[in-house]
Amino acid sequence: MAKQRVLSGVQPTGNLHLGNYLGAIRNWVEGQSQFENFFCVVDLHAITAPHDPKTLAQDTYTIAALYLAAGIDLQYSTIFVQSHVPAHSELTWLLNCITPLNWLTDMIQFKEKSVRQGENVNTGLLDYPVLMAADILLYQADQVPVGEDQKQHLELTRDIAARFNHLFATPEAPVLKQPHPLIRPEGARVMSLTDGTRKMSKSDPSDQSRINLLDTPEQIQYKIKRCKTDPIRGLEFDNPDRPECHNLLTLYMVLSGKSREEVARECQDMGWGQFKPLLTEATIAALAPIQAKYQEIMSDRGYLESVLRTGREKAEAVANETLAQVKAALGYSKPL
Active site residues: 113, 199, 202
* Dihedrals phi, psi of 9, to nearest 5 degrees: -160, 165
Q: Is residue 6 near ligand TYM by the rule CB under 6 A?
A: no
Which of 82, 74, 79, 59 is CA-nearest to residue 214?
59
Rounded least distance, CB 302 to ligand TYM, Å? 27
Q: Is residue 24 near ligand TYM by the rule CB under 6 A?
A: yes
* Nearest residue (CB) to ligand TYM, 56 versus 270: 56
Q: Are 104 and 160 in contact (CB under 8 A)?
A: no
Question: Which residue, judged by CB position, is nearest to ligand TYM in the bound state?
Answer: 23
* Nearest residue (CB) to ligand TYM, 147 versus 311: 147
Q: Quick one: which segment of 9-17, 111-119, 276-284, 319-327 binds ligand TYM (CB under 6 A)?
A: 9-17
Q: Is residue 5 near ligand TYM by the rule CB under 6 A?
A: no
Paired sense of beta strands 77-81 and 143-145, if any: unpaired
Q: Quick one: which segment of 99-107, 130-138, 285-293, 295-303 binds ligand TYM (CB under 6 A)?
A: 130-138
- Reduce the DSSP state of residue 191 to 3 states and report it: strand
Q: Are 152 and 103 in contact (CB under 8 A)?
A: no
Q: Is residue 204 near ligand TYM by the rule CB under 6 A?
A: no
Q: Quick one: which segment of 96-104, 148-156, 159-167, 227-235 binds ligand TYM (CB under 6 A)?
A: 148-156
Q: Is residue 244 near ligand TYM by the rule CB under 6 A?
A: no
Near ligand TYM in 31-50, by CB under 6 A: 42, 45
CA distance 162 to 156: 10
Cα angle for residues 246, 249, 251 (degrees, 5° grid): 105
Near ligand TYM in 182-201, by CB under 6 A: 188-190, 199-200
Among 6, 10, 65, 267, binds ligand TYM (CB under 6 A): 10
Q: Is residue 250 near ligand TYM by the rule CB under 6 A?
A: no
CA distance 144 to 141: 7
Q: Where are the alpha helices (DSSP H) in the chain?
A: 18-20, 26-31, 53-70, 87-96, 101-105, 108-117, 123-138, 151-168, 217-226, 243-256, 260-267, 272-298, 301-330
How many CB atoms neighbour CB 299 within 10 A? Answer: 10
* Nearest residue (CB) to ligand TYM, 132 versus 253: 132
Q: Is residue 9 near ligand TYM by the rule CB under 6 A?
A: yes
Q: Is residue 20 near ligand TYM by the rule CB under 6 A?
A: yes
Which residues lie below 8 Å from residue 146, measured CB to CB, with a gap of 6+? 8, 23, 24, 154, 181, 182, 183
Max CA separation in the chain (angstroms): 74
Q: What is the DSSP letter of 49?
A: S
* Nearest residue (CB) to ligand TYM, 112 versus 269: 112
Q: Is residue 144 near ligand TYM by the rule CB under 6 A?
A: yes
Binding residues for ligand TYM, per CB under 6 A? 7-11, 19-20, 23-24, 42, 45, 132, 135-136, 144, 146-147, 149-150, 153, 188-190, 199-200
